[in-house]
Structure 1
Amino acid sequence: MTFKPLSTLFTRFILSITLSKGIISGTPTVASEEMNNTTNTTSTVLLSPSDSLLTGTSTYGHSNNFEAYLKGLGVPYLLRSLALLASPVVTISKKCPFESSVDEGCLWKIRTDTIFRSHEAEFKLNEESTTTRMDGQTVRFTFKKEGDFKLIEKQTNIGGPDVSTDIIRDFSDSSKMKVNLHVKKVNASSVFYRTDKS
């Protein structure tokens, strides 16, 4: 008896319950104000037409060469095995301080949820930040936008093995997010299908 189908079925059941409750809602390309009750400050959610393709929720579809990529990162065997069982849900959002701003000063957030762990990274484009990945490795990372439909992330380990990786998220197809991953001489890819647009 194999454990993977049962784990996959359980993961998808949990994700379907989560998604049915509505992880994110909103209307693309419409500016809306959210009031923070504790500090009485106002922030604006402003999305250009291309940003409405970048933001939203996507569910894992399939991947190619992902275990080799994780091995190249130095992820231990047990965590690699768990990662291969997971069906992540990725939610990308963006908040800007001023209506006139398209990218300058905007705070982006990428949240990845699996049955095993969740991870959230907040960043501004072209500014270095740090985070601890799901495998426990602390990294420096920078995001930049290439054209209207790509977010390119560069990660470099802090401590641990001297490893850097590039993660290219391509949103040119409005029905999916294509992710290309590069570490050392290993290339991998994943496809996530859009389930909700913010």
Structure 2
Amino acid sequence: MSVSEEAMNMPTMRRPRGRPIGSKNKPKPAPLMRRDTHNVIESHMIEITSGADITYNLVQFARRKERGFCVLSAIGSIRNVTLQQSLIPDTIMTLEGQLQILSLRGSFLPGATPPTLSVYLAGAKGQVVGGKVVGPLVASGTVFIILAAFSNAAFDRLPGEASSSNHHHHNDSCPSNLP
């Protein structure tokens, strides 16, 4: 028997028509988000060692990462701080000794004014003091800070009742005349 006669005697295998079984319209994977997205917020836990200036270290971190930041919380103690109290304008006080951080809040935009930090502290006898940090904020022991770091921060001035409806939008900068 020749090859052509064998082929004729074999049953023909037909390919099924249409989609294969189980090949329904499956969801497509989401496109990958690029790392250089316009606005990215990253969370960081910063460890600052004893004797270090917390403000200085936060600014160095922001400049090295080329990011702005917003302090969300902190835990630890300090041994030296210079504060301006908001209730009594132009009152600046320097505190020394072991003080526990109750709250640390603030933000920083690279290329703008110095960081704005405010802190509330508890003394050994339960007294509480707080205000705007205007000098060194020196850690006593390890201090842990949780912050949100962001790129391409935008500053928007919203119109107030007495001001015009001007709208300013700047990337990575903040006017130096903010209160």
Same fold by TM-score greater than 0.5: no
Q: Which has the higher contact order (CA 8 A, sep 6+)?
A: 2
TM-score range, shorter chain: under 0.3
Normalised TM-score (structure 1): 0.24
